[in-house]
Copies of this chain bind each other. A is one copy, B any other.
């Protein structure tokens, strides 16, 4: 054998990578219009259909947004899109509740601590509104789960750290729905409301220790509930809404 097999990359992927590189370097900036298909094809010396396929890839990756049939604009990938992609991968990798729980304990506790240092009056108002709605919904499990997810997201946003937010969102998408199984089997609602109330008290009082402590207790309650409900924490989580 003299030659290794040549590894070819389809032309459209090469073109997509080249455009992406320009976006990452800041030559093409978010909000700017992408040059036309014809222009790009001429500059790059490829067929127009190759450019069209490359643009489709960039659209899929959230780097290009189609405003109208002919107007393509550079965009920034949406956090929600990235998060759902990541949580789908976690399901396919058969990640267990135990793994999610450990990671969530870490991230939510830190988010709570930082939220106590940085929350604005607006954040506190959102948390108060969430608490009030939670009190009203204690008997509506589905609404309660939605409010719980919203509560934790509001705390995380108040931490003013987008890296933390990006890290926790895909885990939260799988973790909180898994908790629905617990909530529907146990009377965990009063404990949930009590913990949320203490967390908001901590944030309002600018007390990072109190806030972090109650978030930690609260996430530890999730695990205890999971075990009390005879669910196996070493089983992979599933992707169906509210844990199936």
Where the two chains meet, the residues of A that have a C-beta atom closer than 8 Å to any C-beta of B are: 20, 23-24, 30, 53, 56-57, 60-62, 76-77, 79, 82, 85-86, 88-93, 95, 99-100, 102-103, 106-107, 110, 114, 161-164, 166-168, 170-171, 239
Contacts and interface: CB of A to CB of B under 8 A. Distances in A.
Contacts of A91: 24
B61 A85 contact: yes
Contacts of A85: 61, 77, 82, 85
A56 B24 CA distance: 23
Q: Copy number of this protein in the oligomer?
A: 2
A166 B85 CA distance: 12
A94 to B, nearest CB: 9
A77 B103 contact: no
A163 B106 CA distance: 11
A162 B99 CA distance: 7
The residue in A60, A95, A106, A107 that gathers the most chain B C-beta atoms within 10 A of its C-beta is: A106
A110 B106 contact: yes
Nearest to A110: B106
Contact of A102 (B24, B53, B82, B163): B163
